[in-house]
Structure 1
Amino acid sequence: MDLRQLEYFVAVAEERNFTRAAQRVHISQSGVSAQVKRLEEELGAELFDRSARTAELTAAGRAALEHARAALAAAGAVGQAVGEITGLLRGNLEVGMVIGCAVTPLFDALAEFHRAHPGVELSLREDNSDRLVDDVRHGALDLALIGTEAAPEGLESFTIISEPLVAAVPAGHELSGEVSLHELAAHPVVCMPAGTGLRAVFDRACARRGVEPVIALQASAAAAIADLARRGLGVAILSESMAAEFPDLTALPITGVTDPALLAITWRPGATVAARELVRSCREAFRTSSDHASRKEPTAR
């Protein structure tokens, strides 16, 4: 049994005629008939009822048809995968990154991918997470680094960071220790704009508890939010690791915010081989970064 026999068998089954099947596969009718007959001999059963004017499948033929189609599809997928790997010598990848989030391992992954596949043109652009997710869904981006409250529905993703939100305040601020959302609502808030992962987590938590915070100012970069809070213009809402970058601010745990803020890489199911290779590079870069941070942690303490 070989793929050619399966191809001819499927063609006859779908055309219900040996002559039309022969025209479809571009060989003589006698060639199609001979190969189908050989397949029947190997299987030990007739696949077609040849007594009618059309080629009708027998019970054995109907049982074999689905598997023959699957075998041909699998063989085609093998060829496509190899072709796509070869195609990595050319083409382009569109990558998105959430605004104000310079994550070194992502840049390491892009550099490693570029060294391995220099013929692939890489493009990188910033936007808020909601738009990045939409662009990945609709094919405008191949993959994106996003901030989110949950894995995007209908997309593949892996989480890089999962951590709580904190309220960051300058020295001497009246808030201290753990603070509730209701306590926060008594103060102006400085946070990221709608469409970002941090803002989505914060808004959802407030809505669940019927809290309506006063959003005094918004900024897309953590440094800008911290600077505004430092100047007394509002309480900064940041992730735990973001707040740690500003030691002159005190990070206060927020009670009532149960969902973590996530940083994730996301891409479409069935992405190209090039995109999947870049995802692999991202996984490795972030794993290496995490391992390196873990090894340094005892020294840092």
Structure 2
Amino acid sequence: MELRQLEYFIAVAEEANFTRAAERVHISQSGVSSQVRQLENELGAQLFDRSGRTARLTPAGIAALEHARAALASVEAARQAVDDVNGLVRGKLVVGMVTACTVTTLFDALSTFHRSHPGVEITLLEDTSERLVERLRANMIDLALVGTSVTNPAGLEAYEIAREPLVAAVPVGHPLSSQGRTTLADLGRYSLISLPSGTGVRTAFDDACTAMGVRMRITLQAGAPAAVADLAIRGLGVAIISASMAAQQAPWLTALPIEGVEAETVLSLVWTSVTNPATQHLIGHCRRSFAASRPLSHPAPEPELSAPVSSYGSS
């Protein structure tokens, strides 16, 4: 019995599909199937019912799954114990990042971390902030750079990087461009352009509207802030974006504060309260990189690197 056979068995059990399991462990489907077959032959029992569209565990498979997980956990614990003695950090890290993020300081941190700990394999995953937070809570990723509208996502630790207000951005010549500011009532007369649901900017705007008891009409969505601004420049609607993004588009867009709306996006690193040594080291590299970089807007006070990371939220 080989450890990789147990790993592939667990992957198929958790994915309920040989193809998805193969993608997860980065080998061919035939390779996964062959190794699982060998494991079944060695155990003398069929572990999966392959008759349906999903790979379902048989009673024997259910009985074996817990022990397979325990075996791999024991091996990892032994490896970690030896690495601790030798002062090494090894393993795999999955780092999440909001889609279309332009904050390259995270890449700087990953670079310095990789040079210091080449034994750690890093996977970078892009998604919406909402889904990244869900993946963190499900222990599917180790660390994420996200945007939210709250100070601290429930159940997670966070290090705030920057926060800034939302604005309505209109092109030159738009009826609102000469007002200097606007209201939700004004915006209700126009088509709005925003990022999709699940992003920090959209969540902050939706929450603010809900608090005011109004429902706004979002007619266009784009996955990147620059695309939202570009659509507004072309006269397709009023963009709801962060103040810094609007400033980058001057003089083509005019940023209008929204009266009575206290909506801010917060950019943060977030992780679970229980972390492995590799994640702890990466958090340290990230904090140092962001502290050394130019502030994105109005960053939170920088905590001491030796102190526990504060529980700020994400944007």
Scaled to the shorter chain, the TM-score interval is 0.5 to 0.7
- Alpha-carbon distance change, 103 to 254 in structure 1, aligned in 2, over 3 angstroms: same
CA offset digits 1:193-222 (Å, max 9, x no partner) = 111111111001111112221101011101
- Alpha-carbon distance change, 85 to 230 in structure 1, aligned in 2, over 3 angstroms: farther
Q: Is residue 173 from structure 1 mapped to residue 177 from structure 2 by the alignment?
A: no
Q: Secondary structure at the match of 1:179?
A: coil
Match of 1:223? Answer: 226
In structure 1, how many angstroms separate the alpha carbons of the residues matched to 2:132 and 2:259? Answer: 30
Percent of matched pairs sharing the same residue: 49
Q: Secondary structure at the match of 2:293?
A: helix
- Alpha-carbon distance change, 215 to 84 in structure 1, aligned in 2, over 3 angstroms: farther
* Paired AA for residue 291 in structure 2: R
Match of 2:99? Answer: 99
In structure 1, how many angstroms separate the alpha carbons of the residues matched to 2:208 and 2:295? Answer: 32
* Paired AA for residue 106 in structure 2: L
Q: Is residue 237 from structure 1 mapped to residue 240 from structure 2 by the alignment?
A: yes
* Paired AA for residue 200 in structure 1: T
- Alpha-carbon distance change, 155 to 81 in structure 1, aligned in 2, over 3 angstroms: farther
Match of 1:184? Answer: 187
In structure 2, how many angstroms separate the alpha carbons of the residues matched to 1:120 and 1:244? Answer: 39
Match of 1:162? Answer: 163
In structure 2, how many angstroms separate the alpha carbons of the residues matched to 1:84 and 1:290? Answer: 38
In structure 2, how many angstroms separate the alpha carbons of the residues matched to 1:254 and 1:81? Answer: 57
Q: Secondary structure at the match of 2:294?
A: helix
* Paired AA for residue 268 in structure 2: A
Q: Secondary structure at the match of 1:121?
A: strand
- Alpha-carbon distance change, 189 to 293 in structure 1, aligned in 2, over 3 angstroms: closer
In structure 2, how many angstroms separate the alpha carbons of the residues matched to 1:169 and 1:218? Answer: 16
Pair member with larger Rg: 1
Q: Secondary structure at the match of 1:107?
A: helix
Match of 1:277? Answer: 281
Q: Any conservation in 2 of the 1:85–1:273 contact (CA below 8 Å)?
A: no
CA RMSD after TM alignment: 2.3
CA offset digits 1:69-101 (Å, max 9, x no partner) = xxxxxxxxxx9697288441x311100001121
Q: Any conservation in 2 of the 1:98–1:126 contact (CA below 8 Å)?
A: yes
* Paired AA for residue 225 in structure 1: V
CA offset digits 1:221-258 (Å, max 9, x no partner) = 01110111011111001111121221221111111221
In structure 2, how many angstroms separate the alpha carbons of the residues matched to 1:172 and 1:191? Answer: 20
Q: Is residue 193 from structure 1 mapped to residue 196 from structure 2 by the alignment?
A: yes
Q: Secondary structure at the match of 1:154?
A: coil
Q: Secondary structure at the match of 2:146?
A: strand
In structure 2, how many angstroms separate the alpha carbons of the residues matched to 1:241 and 1:286? Answer: 17
- Alpha-carbon distance change, 152 to 291 in structure 1, aligned in 2, over 3 angstroms: closer
Q: Any conservation in 2 of the 1:85–1:274 contact (CA below 8 Å)?
A: no
Q: Any conservation in 1 of the 2:162–2:296 contact (CA below 8 Å)?
A: no
- Structure 2 portions without partners, runs of 5+: 1-79, 299-315
- Alpha-carbon distance change, 285 to 130 in structure 1, aligned in 2, over 3 angstroms: same
Following superposition, the deviation at residue 291 of structure 1 comes to 6.5
Paired residues for 1:73-112 under 5 Å: 83=84, 86-88=87-89, 90-112=90-112
- 2:210 corresponds, among 194, 200, 207, to 207
In structure 2, how many angstroms separate the alpha carbons of the residues matched to 1:198 and 1:82? Answer: 42
- Structure 1 portions without partners, runs of 5+: 1-78, 295-301
Q: Greater helix percent: which structure?
A: 1
- Alpha-carbon distance change, 218 to 81 in structure 1, aligned in 2, over 3 angstroms: farther
Match of 1:266? Answer: 270
Q: Secondary structure at the match of 1:140?
A: coil
- Alpha-carbon distance change, 85 to 169 in structure 1, aligned in 2, over 3 angstroms: farther
In structure 1, how many angstroms separate the alpha carbons of the residues matched to 2:156 and 2:233? Answer: 38
Q: Secondary structure at the match of 1:205?
A: helix
* Paired AA for residue 280 in structure 1: G
Match of 1:249? Answer: 253
Match of 1:70? Answer: none
In structure 1, how many angstroms separate the alpha carbons of the residues matched to 2:187 and 2:297? Answer: 33
TM-score by length of 2: 0.65
